[in-house]
Structure 1
């Protein structure tokens, strides 16, 4: 009964979005109310701590999570309003007018690059917006980018999800990186195929096989090598650059004759547009600066200054104790890609001849455009925080209970669900379920990082209890998380916002859920095989 009550918020989201097809801005607040009521009435959590936890989750949902796509969309909208995005899109179309090739180059390759340097919503929002500008149907653009943005996810944002998993579980980072890479490389290769299949089905996939092989193999092979022998942090950045280079070189020489177009299009209307190299460079300048600045503020020699941990630089970090002294709300405002994207725009726009007045106009318009997204995502992250709330909460300094009573344990809603699942499975079944926890975690939070924080230690402890490899089970959850990205309300809201389909999130989820099932089946089979048929693959 308690497990069913704990799952009620998830059921509200699952019924409201894909079945009733209601907008996330309406469904998520209802699910939030259900979460709070269940936490108080069923799990006997105090009203005060429940509401404070909900507040912290909502704040985290906006800063930094929604702040990142906000910064990306302000820059995009400014480039669009001033004509520079059209020049970038013209350059893309000049390289190839084949719609399948554009999906691989922009949705898969460029999306992977954005995932590597900033993650969160940017790898969906920016490529989807570009594809719409190139003439894609908005629903198609959202679907392509949600499917494509899977392979790079565990190593996104300079591998924050995998680093968080190591910190949560206290397992060796290099082993987790290697195992995650061994699982994700085949999945990345598969998702390159599904990116093209999502938009053209089998008839389009057949003619694009060489391009898919170039894109998928270049990314997957590099991802495997870097994650296993270099380290987690630069896996996506290096793999995406290799992928973009290989794909662009191939497209510059191939797929020129009889390009695959959408129904109703002709080669004449989709012919390459004239562009100048200088304009191409300038149109990409904000994103090039974004990549450089993100790397600079995350170097070992600099990141302690920008995250506020260096003496004298504490002002770089906004932090507050809302309900848990062991889990402060933190926001490194200058290190977040949201701020860096806005700064990149400020630095680049004078070279493009864009006045700051136009930048300011788009800042305000983008804020109004994203208000429904802010509400939806803040509600979802607030739900996650409450569902993960357990008592007692102990002050790590005084060892006294801040909330609850020492010796009286009240487990969280998430743990209640997890325990009910684990209690009925065997060691031979759990490897198949390991990726499912990652999917559920990302569905709840929209973040692989948050999912690993939520379920990482559960994976480790369950593995110990069942005699399984803790590195494999934790990595299985890490590899399963991208499946949740495709159906996460947060990701879908961001995609809908970017392509102008707000209030149609349910339609998008109906399209992506079939690819989530395929992804989960394949990755679960690989985890099971590594556990019992090929344990030598586990570091």
Structure 2
């Protein structure tokens, strides 16, 4: 069987996947398939090389494993890598660059300083700020955009409030967990329902009974990260209240209202509860606010307060972003802009699965207008007008943002190229099938599979597309509830996002600590594994009468 490139006319050998290609053994095939990922994480976390070189090295290893271990033709392996690299640019980097562009415009005009002072007026306590910005506001951004934008924006906001860059990056990464399964207007869960063949409301209902468990204690973890045990002792009230409010709202909205609105409602409810408690307990340490400015000023006096008009303009970019993304979800309009799509078979790439059907990596698809990056451009143009940024200055700021991200661009493109090579060559499937064969332990290991997939791809959506159907098949084989394991794939996946090389790079670049991705990895690895262990134990118990009552 052969395939022909539509652009070059070069005939390339087609490739049929075989997850047991290495010596006819699934175990050996899976073991060899781990090498690309091990290369990336060892180089990042142990050897401490820069992220772009770790990612490029992992890509090279994935190509070697694909060609030598899985007998994938060289041309097909290279084409799979190019497809992944382009996907890394559109839509992922397209989102990140434009999100940071909007932020950079607010910095250039001084309005981000106004926003920082406004948050200080809500609370000058760093523990409370971490919850409000990284968890609540970050959750809102995850609901609207996802794909790295929440980490990038909240990390720089924390730095502007006085957080050390490394701490800001860690807090932003750890906070970007509980909202991820319902992020980007519910796309991960919607994708999971499509690939698994299960009803959307059924899958969303189970996910909505798993991820809220994370939301209960993520704010407490953030408080500990900011200020250790003293932070937990002094600021447990907003942490617990915000976590409970977010969790209850996420459960209720996902189960009874709307999958798409789940994180929007949860984030807003969490923020409102914290701010409301601060007003009820104004003398609490965690509710401290910046002192009022003395009338008349004078030497050493605090600067005059920002005018209401300036405060409104400072919040305007985020209001505009929310409005643009919300408008894009309006029934009718959503269908219209989603129909504006670029879709084609990747030239020359001819990969079929073991059953002989075309593999998903052969198809490129981009809804170019409704993708979050384009919506961010639209929002950015409106922001430029509201903040009175001229066209020339806005374009110059965009170019400067792209140049500053040049190494992050290399890293993300390399990581996605690696993921596509692993997916197309059946390396990822081999690992997944090995875990899926765990029998009675599958309920415990199913979230680990999702965690692994998100750590590779950086996307819960991609992880669900990759392993959603596999989880259902494995559940039926093991006699476990299919909806439980499918949901576990998405719920476990949210904890892998903080370890994804592309997310580590986004966080590092956002706060100006490029090259320290390995340090970030080591600092968040324990939290990721610890929360995964707790979630996996809960999901395993949900498969038994002990916690089976939690399921719909």
Q: Decide: shared fold, TM above 0.5.
A: yes
Deviation at 1:506, TM superposition (A): 0.4
Do structure 1's residue 336 and structure 2's residue 336 form an aligned pair?
A: no
With 174-183 and 211-220 compared, the bigger mean Cα shift is at 211-220
Report the Cα offset of residue 318 of structure 1: 2.2
Q: Determine which of 55, 59, 65 is the counterpart of 2:86.
A: 59
Find out whether 1:416 has 2:430 as its counterpart: yes
In 2: Cα distance, 1:358 partner to 1:199 partner = 36
Q: Which moved more, 1:268-277 or 1:124-133?
A: 268-277
Q: Offset of 1:414 from its aligned partner?
A: 1.2
- Residue aligning to 1:106: 133
Q: Of 112, 116, 124, which residue of structure 2 is paired with 1:89? A: 116
1:71 aligns with 2:98: yes
Paired residues of 2:359 and 2:424 also in contact (CA < 8 A): no
Aligned pairs (5 A) from 1:442-461: 442-461=454-473
- C-alpha distance in structure 2 between counterparts of 1:449 and 1:426, whole Å: 26
**Distance 1:271-1:140 versus aligned 2 partners, 3 A rule:** farther
Partner of 1:349: 384
Residue 342 of structure 2 is aligned to residue 318 of structure 1: yes
Which digits, 9 at most, give the CA deviation of each residue in 1:16-35, with x for residues without a partner? 11111211111001100110
CA deviation after TM superposition for structure 1 residue 254, in Å: 3.7
Q: CA deviation at 1:420?
A: 2.7
Query: 3-state SS of the aligned residue for 2:208?
Result: helix
Task: Please provide the CA RMSD for this pair.
Answer: 2.2
Q: Which residue of 1 aligns with 2:13?
A: none
Query: Which residue of structure 1 lines up, in the alignment, with residue 25 of structure 2?
Result: none
For 1:284 and 1:56, the matched residues in 2 are separated by 38
2:439 alignment partner, one of 399, 421, 426: 426
| CA displacement 1:167-223 (0-9 Å, x = unmatched) | 110111101111001011111111111111111111111110111122111111100
User: How much does 1:421 deviate?
Assistant: 3.1
Aligned to 2:320: 289
Using structure 1 for the length normalisation, give the TM-score. 0.90
CA deviation string 1:314-363 (max 9, x = no partner)? xx322231125664211222212212122112112222222222211111
Correspondence 1:178-327 to 2 at 5 A: 178-254=205-281, 258=285, 274-308=305-339, 316-322=340-346, 323=349, 327=360
C-alpha deviations, 1:278-312, integer Å up to 9, x for none? 2222112122121111122223312222122xxxx
148-157 vs 49-58, which moves further? 49-58
Structure 1: gaps (5+ residues): 309-315, 391-411
Alignment correspondent of 1:499: 511
Match status 1:537 vs 2:515: no
How far apart in 1 are the matches of 2:236 and 2:302? Answer: 22
- Other-structure match for 1:135: 162
2:149 paired residue among 115, 118, 122: 122
Distance of aligned partners of 1:131 and 1:114 in 2 relative to their CA distance in 1, 3 Å threshold: same
Q: CA deviation at 1:272?
A: 9.9
**1:250 shift after superposition:** 2.6
C-alpha contact 2:435 2:442 (8 A) present in aligned 1: no
Distance in 2 between the 1:485 and 1:288 partners?
A: 26
1:367 and 2:402 equivalent?
yes
- The residue matched to 1:319 in structure 2 has which SS? strand
C-alpha distance in 1 between matches for 2:197 and 2:256 = 20
List alignment gaps of at least 5 residues for structure 2. Answer: 1-27, 294-299, 351-357
The alpha carbon displacement at 1:277 in A equals 2.6
Distance 1:240 1:270, change over 3 A: farther
Aligned residues: 506
- C-alpha displacement of 1:255: 5.7
- Determine if contact 1:159/1:234 at 8 Å carries over to the other structure: yes
- 1:258: how far off? 4.8
Matched residue, 2:52 = 25
Looking at structure 2, the residues matched to 128 and 355 of structure 1 have their Cα atoms a distance apart, in angstroms, of: 27
